[in-house]
């Protein structure tokens, strides 16, 4: 049986278009709102067609010392040019980019997971210090 963790792919987002990019401050004050943006295709645009697209991005935060992460957000991208006339005939295409906020009292790791309908599941993470 395949283990899900073995399916998680990662790479440098500057060289691989499937890796989710996390943009947020590296340091926040305790109780301060941490605003973040996540996207796929920041350096190299990802296709967004009916046949090949990013379907979702999930964001988690693992506080230092905690056993499990908290799911902070889940973004679904549902418009990929499909319509009743056929593939790529609509004028509506989602872009795999979204933002959110969280508050925390502990430093930790903000993690993102993106899902490409052709190339699977991709992950990235960014350390956040809380002072």
Could you list the active site residues? 16-18, 46, 52, 116, 119
Which is it for the CA torsion 22, 26, 30, 32, positive or negative?
negative
Residues 6+ away with beta carbon under 8 Å from 26: 126, 127, 128, 129
Closest CA to 53 of 40, 68, 38: 40
The whole-angstrom separation of Cα 25 and Cα 58 is 19
Closest CA to 88 of 53, 118, 45: 53
Lookup: tokens for 93? 């295409």
Given a contact cutoff of 8 angstroms between Cβ atoms, the answer to whether 21 and 13 are in contact is yes
């Amino acid at each position: 049986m395949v283990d899900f963790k073995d399916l998680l792919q990662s790479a440098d987002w500057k060289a691989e278009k499937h890796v989710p990019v996390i943009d947020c401050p590296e340091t926040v004050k305790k109780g301060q709102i941490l605003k973040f943006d996540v996207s796929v295709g920041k350096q190299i645009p990802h296709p967004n067609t009916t046949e090949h697209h990013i379907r979702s991005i999930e964001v988690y935060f693992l506080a230092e010392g905690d056993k499990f992460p908290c799911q902070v957000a889940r973004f679904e991208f549902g418009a990929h040019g499909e319509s009743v006339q056929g593939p790529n005939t609509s004028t509506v295409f989602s872009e795999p980019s979204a933002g959110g906020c969280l508050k925390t009292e502990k430093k930790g790791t903000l993690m993102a997971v993106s899902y490409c309908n052709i190339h699977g599941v991709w992950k990235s993470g960014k350390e956040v210090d809380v002072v």
